[in-house]
Amino acid sequence: MDKKIALITGATSGIGEACARKFAQGGYNLIITGRNGEKLNQLRDQFARQGTDVLVLNFDVRDRDAAKKAVASLSGKWLKIDVLINNAGLARGLEPEYEGSFQDWDEMIDTNIKGLLTMTRLIVPGMVERNRGHIINVGSVAGDAAYAGGNVYCATKSAVKLISDGLRIDLVNTAVRVTNLKPGLVQTNFSNIRFHGDDARADGVYKGIQPLTGDDIADVAFYAASAPEHVQIAEVLVLATHQGSGSVISKDVNRVEHLS
């Protein structure tokens, strides 16, 4: 029996890399995408030594033409994608909306929303044609409610929720499933990217609390993909134990902090 195939965007770090490892361990072959071609090739070689076939597609999801070209290059078994994990995404800045960076806004919107839509449009028709498949969109607890300084990022993740809900409705007469996976505080390079490489500020986000890891989120993604075919895990909110919402965490028994 042929192995199933998972396509994972943003697979070179964080949740994306963890999902690649989890699905490889779970018996999938992988299509991994990202902007860092060197890291993609390293992962391919690592997985190959473990018996996993890996196809590397080196492109930025913000570049629609590059995405189209990459998907058009697929042939043979790689055309039959079973799971699409729309993971590529990022936050930039934590300024008040009226002081935000136009460049940061564009990067978040183009990656988190438009990139996800591009990959969905390119991959899901094949799933519909085969009447099987699963789309896992990596959203965020930030999509549930705004928090100070999170304005545009929160809006993009709210869009991921509604795009996921709408896609699930559009696919209701098929066997294709849609999951919106909403992590809370996960210690990856997320905060470092948000703060434009300010390591000290990024480390402060996680100080005093045991945050989630990329592996924790990958476990949930794999669980959703492994559910019986008649079961659709529509939405999963995953928080660290001492996180109450997108903005409220407890770092001390006598104190509650708001992320800002």
* 169 CB neighbour count, 10 Å cutoff: 9
* 206 given a catalytic annotation: no
Q: Are 218 and 17 in contact (CB under 8 A)?
A: no
Residue 30 pairs in a beta bridge with: 6, 54
Q: How far apart, in whole angstroms, are the C-alpha atoms of residue 33 and residue 109?
A: 19
Q: Pick the closest to residue 181 from 216, 146, 230, 228 (CA basis).
A: 216
Angle of helix 116-130 relative to helix 64-72, nearest 10 degrees, comes to 30
Q: Are 208 and 149 in contact (CB under 8 A)?
A: no
Q: Catalytic residue among 147, 153, 206, 223, which? A: 153
Report helix, strand or coil for 257.
strand
Residue 250 pairs in a beta bridge with: 256
Angle at the Cα of 168 (from 164 to 171), degrees rounded to 5? 135
Q: How far apart, in whole angstroms, are the C-alpha atoms of residue 139 and residue 165?
A: 12
CA–CA distance from 184 to each of 4, 142, 210, 211 (Å)? Answer: 29, 8, 12, 8
Q: Which residues are catalytic?
A: 153
